[in-house]
Structure 1
């Protein structure tokens, strides 16, 4: 039997157009209710607890994770589990975000009396402002969409996308209002490449002590080359009589002097070194050093102390090995 080949691309385009329209439609709901919801979370002395059932629950988990990682302590509670003990995690200092597209999800409505009894502020996110959940909430953030991307109108598609986007709007609005910084973000993301890019400092990866290539400015080029060869960083710091950095000599400088036929055995390193070299301090973020190196098109940095004396050295390979690149 001959296999039938289908073109799925037009169907994919239709989904994107419907969901883009759903997101665009959310702008009308960035209103006073949205503003009140943000203020309630901003003033919260406890945590933001997000609840939702089914697909709304999956989206709720992501919203809680985004809030938690951007300066608003939050976690997700499954409404089914909440009815069997997990409501004990909710305190009167907390705020609850309840998500239900219909606003009539029984598992969510069943726990509202307890939430109300605790005196916890309730923010509802629904697609139906007249729903039970919307009416019982202190604030209602509307996430209504005109149609689902599912042609049957059954599978949550555009509605879940809209909910996720509205959750991002809440989280980022709070982030900016709190003055949440990259350093703050790094504290909640210490693992993986993201944590390394945000937390790692040059003092954590630089070569120190005898591993730092250093050459006296009275030395010959040949002596500097031996030091570069021993330390293997493709460069050497050139220091004056007080051990302060006077310049740098790199593999690139070597190529230039060879092109000019300079005698490395009779020429002093001070005659060919680069005097105005780029330096860094040990407390500098590795990601910041990477940007400097990329912008200046250099492969290494000498790290100096407050007196201008070399205390470390590193190159692009060190950043690569540390997972910063």
Structure 2
């Protein structure tokens, strides 16, 4: 059947008469048949050719298999609409009319196979003109796109859930390049009145309260250098001219090689953290490796001392100090933090560590 399809379509490498590439029609058909078989062996593609005047069709074996038909089954493109899913009939009912009119067709819709299973397909056709520039034959391909369609739907569903969650928590979402250059969403302009082009030029710090800029820059720079989570409370100049407290946080999206691909973050109204019973900045479980090492040095603790007071094994603490929170359960970080805080330490933005009786306002 493939050889018949190849012969009837008259396919050659350059679309014209065969030259020194193939010296006979038989050799040409054999090569084309081989190419088509390679494509159809995947089981997700089929070919067809038909006379636009009589409607007589030559389907490939791959097409019949894709439709769930027997190898000897009768097939006509004019009846292809009969396979269309009831909800997609409008996509298939005029296919034959367009082909006979010399119009190429490209559609995606569902079909119901002979075994009653549903598949998504791409239907594509081209019309071959005769010497009088009238449609004489049509050739086409049908591709099973079910796997790709389901994958795309899964991604869209996941993205939709993510968007819904972020929108319920955050004032806006923001991103940054791997080297720390912010790429704010459109929500930034609505929030601050600052245009995105100014953000790209590094002017995002201009809308941060002057008293907070050094602290924010230090925390962000430390996070980018160490690939550790970024969290900071800061005052932003809103579009209405007033400063308001916000909480900003971000995490690096890590490649397999261990380097950051980009940063993904959110900005929340600071009041939302406390009014809804969410943790304030002093309550977050995240500690950087540098904070843990600095805290041990300030208290002159060995790894064994911290292990005994926190209940976390020495090997785990050693790993945490090397790799940070990305490799650790929050419960372990909280236990370590509590041990330090019980002995008078306080933790702030970036890598800040101080004794609680010192000035620890953050």
TM-score, normalising length: structure 2 = 0.27
Greater RCO (Cα-Cα under 8 Å, separation 6 or more)? 1
Which one has the bigger strand percentage? 2
Structure of greater Rg: 2
